[in-house]
Amino acid sequence: MTKQVHFGGRPVWVEVSLRAITKNLDTVRRHVGPRLEILAVVKSNAYGLGAVPVTKALERAGANRFGVTCSNEGLELRQAGVRKPILVLTGFWPGEEKRFIDKRLTPTVTRVDDVRLLERAARAARVKSKLRFHLKINTGMNRLGILPSELAAFANALADCRHLQLEGTLTHFASAEDFSARQTDDQEHLFRECLERMHALGISPGIVHMANSGAICARPSTWADMIRPGAILYGYYQSFDPPRKGQEVRDQLPLEPSLSMRARIITLRDLPPGQPVGYGARFTTERPSRIAVINAGYADGIMRQRTNRGCALVRGRRVPLVGAISMDLTTLDVTDVPGVALGDIVTIYGKDGNAEIKVSDVAREIGTVTSDLLCALGRRVPRYYL
């Protein structure tokens, strides 16, 4: 059991293993080989684990580039001293162009009009070298990216730009983990057709990248020039389990979970049978029960969907979560834990003795994806980097 102390007035904290994260990066590197570039996706505060310390660890460990959602996330990394290229994956809002130039952030073009906006900004800034950008092509996700039918218009717009350089071309898969449907195969085929069309138009696509975590694990044909690992860097598959159908055992990567979330018992209460617990009396004792309270709730990342579902670990034993998960507090039935005491550590995610609760276990319980749970970790929960 961890001996981690807590700070900040509330006995709840998260432990992040930077060693596990860098080990997962090495696992991915060995899986795809040394030739490919790795763009580590550290968006949404590195999936809730802390963008700055995680990115710095990955930079030291040899990640080639980083992917973020917006310019603010990129700016945070630059201010922290991250020097390697940072790609803003979801494009930019008109008016942000100068910030990209000043902070050396790489924009993603998702509309043909974006090209003209970037050219105008680069010309006004009198950049000494061309402003590099990546082009996103919509192959079936139908969120961001130019349509295949717009490639000629993009080529015409780019031909008028003397201050821009197309550094890379990408697409994004909607169902990389799903081997029961053809969507990913169709997207890959369409993307390759678009690359051929670009060559025919006299445009070099630069660094070609399309493989997210699911595709990295199981679809080698999608690896191209660069891969974009996200959840697997943190030790988790996006869905409940690694993709299985259509892949060999060797493609199920030996990932190491990087997150532990813990709290301490702040109250113990002995209740007779028939007593309600928590909001709405969602749980009623059926026997003489010992109920423990921890100072963490859905504002901290214990999802409310876990009300009367799932468990935590106390003294190496699984104990059920009982009653409604509230904003700041969660209740557990510790009746069957001998010697349970005030101040005992409760493990919400992570290991305690021989027992373990993984984020993917909880994702399965409530029917969501692992990144949903990681990103739900509250800002008021202190992170400790091991």
Token pair 């700016």: residue: 75
Give the per-residue pLDDT at 8.
57
pTM for this model (two decimals): 0.92
Low-confidence residues in the chain, pLDDT < 50: 1-7, 243, 245-251
Q: Which two tokens stand for residue 375?
A: 């990103």
Give catalytic status of residue 349 as yes or no: no
What percent of the chain has pLDDT above 70? 95
Give the DSSP letter string of 279-313.
GGG-EE-SSSEEEEEES--TTTT--GGGTT--EEE
Tell me which of 3, 23, 43, 103 is the catalytic residue: 43
Give catalytic status of residue 43 as yes or no: yes
Cα–chain center distance at 314: 28
Give the per-residue pLDDT at 3.
46
Give the per-residue pLDDT at 180.
81
Q: What is the CA radius of gyration of the chain?
A: 24
Give the per-residue pLDDT at 127.
82
Domain with CATH 3.20.20.10 in the chain: 18-245
**CA distance to 35, 66, 124, per residue, from 61 (Å):** 16, 13, 37
**The domain over range 18-245 is classified in CATH as 3.20.20.10:** yes
Domain with CATH 2.40.37.10 in the chain: 259-385
Q: What would be the CATH architecture of the domain defined by 259-385? A: Beta Barrel (2.40)
Give the per-residue pLDDT at 208.
98
238: left (phi over 0), alpha (psi -120 to 50) or beta: alpha
Helix (H, G, I), strand (E, B) or coil at 142: coil
User: Could you read off the pLDDT of 223-262 as tens digits, one per residue?
Assistant: 999 999 999 999 998 775 554 544 443 347 999 999 999 9
Q: Are 132 and 167 in contact (CB under 8 A)?
A: yes
